[in-house]
Structure 1
Amino acid sequence: MPIGVIVNSLSVLFGGIVGAFLGDRVPERIRTSLPLIFGVASMSMGITTIVKMHTLPAVILAVIVGTTIGELIQFEQGIEGWSNKARGPIEKLFSSKAGIENPKDFMDQFVSIVILFCASGTGVFGALQSGMTGDHTILLAKSILDFFTAGIFAAALGYMVAAIFIPQFIVLLILFLAASFIMPLTTPAMLADFSACGGILMLATGFRICGIKSFPIGNMLPAMVIVMPLSWIWITYCNF
């Protein structure tokens, strides 16, 4: 039973609804400052996982090749297209407008939190661990943080944040179900490199949330798919 996956997704759903409902009732200084704190927190979590890296060349190669693949297939543009199509009906359904009207600013923050909720190293590893061992601790702890994160971002971005629970649930459920097949094929070194790759994405996500630099986070996602095979290849054949 994917208890951790269900709880984590519901925390985003209810956190997004509560935050969007409160909206302007949340003081402007909180809506402005807390996303910056979340950005710093994302960078901090990214750094703590990056330092556990085992095979630097494989991880760097995965990020470069993965981002190239993402750029070629325009993965982030697909996320933006989906969110643009969903934004209108959702705002119309709830008779509300997001606090951020500038489309670029909205997309910068929205795409960043999609990655934060759906593809963070903590969530991916937590879903794999939950599926393999039945231990939901990581996802349950993540649910607490995600509830408040979704609430604060929804105060500015509206009910669209609550809709992120759908892709998050799908991604985490797939990982949960695939865990019994994936985990036996991995080694501690491969998992460390996988977490480190996720850490790089979380670090870039933090920069984007803080408005420092708009990294193409969505287009970097394919790196998470290829990093473990590249790690295995490097350790097996290139570890001189």
Structure 2
Amino acid sequence: MKGTLVNAAAVIIGSGLGLALKQGIPEKYRNTLVQGMSLAVGVIGLQMALKTQNILIVIMGIAVGAIIGETLNIDGGLNKIGAWLSAKLSSAGAEGPNSIGRGFVTASLVYCIGAMAVVGSIQDGLTGDTSILYAKSLLDGIISIVFTSSMGIGVAFSSLSILIYQGLITVLAGFFSAILSDRVVTELTATGGILIVGVSILMLELKNIKLANLLPAIPAAAAIAYFWPT
């Protein structure tokens, strides 16, 4: 769980810096930082995707995962939850006792709902590779500076959400690592890498992709690889 611990620590540190910069971060610096991080995220995704030994498994996994995700409408469900929480919190106002809750919920949604959190935690649990979560830590740390400067100390408490959510995924992935072959892990990793490339595209605002609806592609690719004839 080293990657998750670093991720949580990055949010806490970033929140501390945000409190010291309560006037906010100039938009030009924020945009350039995020763009630089998004390019780095894209390279990480490409490195993972190119590890595939059978691109057919990856393609089939994405196709099956997309069908499952669209049927369940995961992206729509998450957007509704986010909109509902935002409406509840904004109606209560950003100041007063609810301000901490607003920062906590908003930051938790941003940090935990996404392909990097899922894929990075799985990768950490299966292989001990923390590169994705380290990249996510840097990105989340920068975002927490911006969030805390405008929403307050509640953002720092979202580190607890990261510990619980990503930690649980990491532990579960570690449990299944004993029964998964190297081939399954390789194709699962490659499929996750493609989703990470999608994260980069979203961050650069090049295309709107329903990445949440593609998350089922990861277990789908693992299942296909498991039963694929050798």
TM-score normalised by L of structure 1: 0.73
Deviates more, 1:157-166 or 1:37-46: 157-166
CA distance in 1, matches of 2:130, 2:37: 21
Does 2:199 align with 1:213? no
Q: For residues 208 and 43 of structure 1, what CA distance do their matches in structure 2 show? A: 10
Give SS of 1:185's match.
Answer: coil
Displacement over 6 Å in runs of 4+: 110-113
Q: Does 1:44 align with 2:43?
A: yes
Cα distance, 1:212 vs structure 2: 0.4
**Partners of 2:81 and 2:151 in 1: how far apart?**
16
Instruction: Give the deviation of 1:9 after TM superposition.
Output: 3.0
**Counterpart in 2 of 1:133?**
none
Distance in 2 between residues matched to 1:139 and 1:212, nearest whole Å = 21
* In 1: Cα distance, 2:191 partner to 2:158 partner: 22
Stretch deviating more after TM superposition (221-230 or 162-171): 162-171
Q: CA deviation at 1:157?
A: 8.6
Q: Tell me: CA distance 1:179–1:145, structure 2 relative to 1, closer, same or farther (3 Å).
A: same
1:3 deviates by: 5.8
> CA RMSD, aligned part only?
3.6
Q: Which runs of 5+ in 2 are unaligned?
A: none
Inter-partner Cα distance in structure 1 for 2:81 and 2:142: 22
**Given that residues 153 and 161 in structure 1 are in contact (C-alpha distance below 8 angstroms), is that contact kept between their aligned partners in structure 2?**
no
Deviation at 1:207, TM superposition (A): 0.7
2: CA distance, partners of 1:61 / 1:139: 24
Pick from 94, 98, 121: which aligns with 2:99?
Answer: 94
Kindly tell me: are residues 42 and 71 of structure 1, through their superposed partners in 2, closer, same or farther at Cα, counting changes over 3 Å? same
Equivalences for 1:20-39 in 2 at 5 Å?
Answer: 22=21, 24-39=23-38
In 1, the alpha carbon distance for the partners of 2:163 and 2:26 equals 30
Looking at structure 2, the residues matched to 77 and 4 of structure 1 have their Cα atoms a distance apart, in angstroms, of: 29
Identity %: 20
Secondary structure at 2:114's aligned position in 1? helix
Give the equivalent residue in structure 1 for 2:67: 68
CA contact (8 A) 2:3 2:134 kept: no
Classify 1:33/1:140 alpha carbon distance in 2 versus 1 (closer, same or farther; 3 Å): closer
1:122 to 120, 123, 128: 120
